Amino acid sequence: MSLTITIDQQSGFCFGVVYAIQMAEDYLENHETLYCLGDIVHNDLEVNRLKSKGLKIITHEDLKNLRNTSVLIRAHGEPPSTYQLALENNIELIDASCPVVLKLQNRVRNAYDSETQIIIFGKPGHAEVNGLLGQTQNQAIVITSLEDLNSAPIDYSKPIQFFSQTTKSTAKFYEIKAEIEKRIENHFKANDTICRQVSNREPQLEKFAQNFDLIIFIAGKKSSNGKVLYEVCKQANPNSKFISSIDEIQKEWFIGINSVGICGATSTPMWQMEEAKKWIENHIALISN
C-alpha cells in the first residue's frame, strides 16, 4: 500500500501573525532594514527567512539605544512604556499588534483600579502577558495553573477580575474560574479572552489527528500555542511526533505506516508543512513504494 500524506488546511498562521508578517514584508520592499522588537513569530525558520529580507530582531534594551528609526511591534503587543520610550527617542512604531490582543489590553486597563485584583491566566515573561501587565502598572497577578491559586498573593475577600492570555487552553481557563468561584467572598468577574481562532483549533486538530497512523506536528520550540496544540494531537493520537524542522524527522517513525497527517501551530507557516510533506515524499514514500 502506498503512503498517503495529508496537510491539515486548518493549521498555519493565525490572522494576527499573517498581518504582522505582511506589514514587515511590505515595509522591507522599500527599505533595507526594519527593526522588530522580539521574534516576529515563535518560529526560528520563519524568523530567519525574514532576516534574509532585512528584518533585525532587537530586545527592549536595544530599543533604549535606538533613535530616529522605525521599529515593528509584533502581534503579541507591548506595554504602554514601550510607546512612551518610542516617543522620547523619535522612533516610528509600525504597530502590528493583533486586534484581539489590543482589545484584551483595553479590557484589562479599564478593569484595573485600586480596589480590584486582576488575575491573568498566562505564561510569565511571555510578550503578550508583559503587555497586559503594563496595563495594570505591573500589579496584576499571573498564574499558570490551578495549583498557583494556593501560592499566588490573592486576597479572596476583595473583588477579582479574571482574564486569559489569548492563546491559552479554554478548558484550563474554565477549570481555574470554577475554583476561584469556590473561594471568592466578593465580586468576581471572569472574562473569557481566549482567541477563538486559536481555541477552535483544538477540536479541529483532535479530529484531524485521529485519522492517521502517524502525526507530524511542526512548531517552534518557543511557541506556547505549539505546546498546547501538540498535547491535543498526542491525546488524540499517541503516535504524534513534534518537530521544529525537517532535520528532526526520523525514518524509523514510518515503519508500518500507511497514512501521515502533517499539522502545526498558529506560528507555523504553511510553507514549512509543505516542505515536510515534500521531504517525506522524497525520502519515505518512494522507498515504501
User: Of the candidates 194, 220, 252, which is a domain's last residue?
Assistant: 194
Are 66 and 58 in contact by the 8 Å Cβ rule? The answer is: yes
Q: Are residues 135 and 120 in the same domain?
A: yes
Q: Are residues 112 and 64 in the same domain?
A: no
H/E element holding 86? helix 80-88
User: Of the candidates 168, 194, 220, which is a domain's last residue?
Assistant: 194
Q: Are residues 134 and 91 in the same domain?
A: no
CATH code for the domain in which residue 77 is found: 3.40.50.11270
Q: What is the mean pLDDT of the chain?
A: 92
Which entry of 32, 61, 92, 128 is annotated as an active-site residue? 128
196-216 average pLDDT score: 91
The answer to whether the pTM exceeds 0.95 is: no
Q: Are residues 269 and 243 in the same domain?
A: yes
Measured torsion, CA atoms of residues 25, 37, 219, 50, in degrees rounded to the nearest 10: 30
Residue owning grid cell 502533517: 262
Residues in CB range of 252: below 8 A, 6 or more apart: none
User: Of the candidates 167, 194, 221, which is a domain's last residue?
Assistant: 194
Cβ neighbourhood burial of 218 (10 Å; 0-12, 13-18, 19+): buried
Cα 111-97-84 angle, rounded to 5 deg: 70
pLDDT in tens, 231-280: 999 999 999 999 999 999 999 999 999 999 999 998 899 999 999 999 99
Reading the block at residue 138, the C-alpha cell is: 505591573
pLDDT in tens, 154-176: 999 999 999 999 988 888 999 99
Q: Are residues 211 and 270 in the same domain?
A: yes
- 206 is a catalytic site residue: no
Q: Are residues 213 and 247 in the same domain?
A: yes
Q: How many domains is the chain built from?
A: 3
Query: Beta partners for 272?
Result: none
Structural domain range at position 152: 104-194
Q: Are residues 127 and 45 in the same domain?
A: no
CATH code for the domain in which residue 134 is found: 3.40.1010.20
Residue 170: per-residue pLDDT: 86
